[in-house]
Amino acid sequence: MSFILLGLIQGLTEFFPVSSSGHLVIAKYFLKLYLPGAAFEAFVHFGTVLAVIALFRKEIKELVISFFNSIYKLFQGEDWSNILKNNSFSKFAWYLIISSIPAAIIGYAFSLYFEILFNKAIITSLMLIITGFLLWFGNKNYTRGNKNILEITYKDAIFIGLAQAIAIIPGISRSGLTIFAGLYRNLNREFAAKYSFILSIPIILGATIFKIGELSSLNINTTTLILSGMAALISGYGAMKIFIRLLKNRKIYIFSYYLWILSTVTIWISLSRGY
């Protein structure tokens, strides 16, 4: 039951800007679960990828088709800039790839260091406090962007990609930081959310493939593992729809209060226990 609860927490917190990885660290701490490495986290993250695919299935289908069509046109000698200019979905697909590169490189190069943090509740809580300030600051100061896919540049894509790389640290919200980065670069609020959610697919799929071989060492039966993934999928789907509505209404600052309270309580309990 504890693992299914972790899946539920993962789904709810992956798309709310509160750091799903941070919540998993804290939940494992209070439930007194020790899971070496990050294989379980990678698996329940896979459940949230399925939620993204379900919610944005039409856009993702068009992105995949346009991406392979753009490759075909490149081999036919067509100029890359013209392909991006003439097909917004091709541009969207290529920019998602550009944004995925920083996290892929940093995540692979420093995976062992990040895995250590998955068992550090106090450090994670401090990162959650930082995430709370980012949400508060971003909600108050970056509200009038109007860029859509036709107007963003490769510099925007790189900037958002770097934000996603930083968010590998447990406690730094991936959705929160990438949306904040998009708003800072003047993206439309709804498009910033869509970009962030779809951007999660390549990096989470990569992490799942990278860690899939370690699942057998977790001593979790297959049924429990599948139910955990399903809990993440269902809760993640609902969380995305709710968060998009909150983002449109400029109310994401409410998550700041929650993060500050959760962090303070976790740090206090951790110090009182002596670890």
Question: Domain coordinates of the chain in residue numbers?
Answer: 2-273
What's the one-letter identity of residue 186? N
Query: Considering the chain, what is the average pLDDT of its residues?
Result: 83
Alpha carbon 35 to its chain centroid, in Å, reads 21
CB-based contacts of 141, cutoff 8 Å, min separation 6: none
90 vs 95: CA distance, rounded Å: 9
pLDDT in tens, 122-149: 888 888 998 898 888 876 665 567 888 8
Q: Are 184 and 219 in contact (CB under 8 A)?
A: no
SS3 state of residue 187: strand
Residue 36 has pLDDT above 60, yes or no: no
> What whole-number percentage of the chain has pLDDT above 90?
22
Lowest mean pLDDT among 74-88, 98-112, 210-224, 225-239: 210-224
Q: How confident is the model at residue 103 (pLDDT cuts 50, 70, 90)?
A: confident
pLDDT in tens, 207-230: 777 766 666 666 677 787 788 888
Q: Return the residue matching tokens 């309990």.
A: 269
At residue 147, the 3 state secondary structure works out as strand
pLDDT of residue 123: 81
Is residue 45 scored above 70 in pLDDT? yes
**Is the full-model pTM beyond 0.85?**
no
